[in-house]
């Protein structure tokens, strides 16, 4: 907030799905079942929210329980980032990303809190998965945040 109590917008980084040809690549997350009566309004809301440089993609979701038992797959919708997105930051090394994260905040809060909560959620959602990129970023952000 500046001297006139105006919010200063300095967007940080968010989790972004980017298409890849790597058949070993995995994304861990949560899928939500939307009731048929709410499907149209939910999709309209998501399409509006993600319109700035994201593309809707249909894909297979492979549920896994905490014991890593695979359950039946199903089709779902997600959104992939596009370099056309004005806020698309692209790839960078962990230290560059961490420096950006500790400096940025937006209307939803600080970017460092986003990283901390994302890492915590990942540990809860998929405790058997070691997301080396995310956890290295979390450590780098905490290191900068505490210095």
Tokens encoding 69: 């038992």
Tokens encoding 36: 């048929």
Give the catalytic positions in this structure: 50
Q: What is the pTM of this model?
A: 0.76
Q: What separation in angstroms does the CA of 127 have from each of 7, 26, 27, 64, 131? A: 37, 15, 14, 12, 10
Q: What is the pLDDT of residues 22-80, one digit of tens each?
A: 888 888 888 999 999 999 999 999 888 877 678 888 989 988 876 667 789 999 998 88
Report d(CA 53, CA 81) in Å as an integer: 6
Q: What is the pLDDT of the chain when averaged over all its residues?
A: 84
Domain extents in the chain: 14-89, 91-147
Q: What is the pLDDT of residues 72-116, one digit of tens each?
A: 999 999 888 877 777 778 888 999 999 999 999 877 789 999 999
């Amino acid at each position: 907030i500046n001297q006139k109590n105006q919010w200063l917008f300095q967007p940080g980084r968010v989790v972004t799905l980017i298409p890849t040809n790597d058949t070993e690549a995995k994304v861990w997350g949560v899928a939500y079942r939307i009731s048929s009566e709410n499907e149209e309004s939910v999709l309209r809301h998501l399409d509006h929210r993600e319109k700035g440089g994201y593309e809707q993609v249909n894909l297979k979701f492979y549920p896994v329980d905490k014991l890593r038992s695979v359950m039946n797959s199903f089709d779902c919708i997600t959104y992939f980032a596009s370099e056309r997105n004005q806020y698309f930051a692209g790839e960078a090394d962990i230290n560059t990303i961490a420096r950006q994260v500790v400096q940025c905040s937006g209307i939803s809060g600080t970017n460092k809190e986003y990283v901390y909560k994302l890492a915590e959620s990942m540990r809860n959602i998929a405790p058997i998965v070691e997301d080396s990129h995310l956890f290295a970023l979390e450590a780098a952000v905490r290191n900068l945040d505490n210095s």
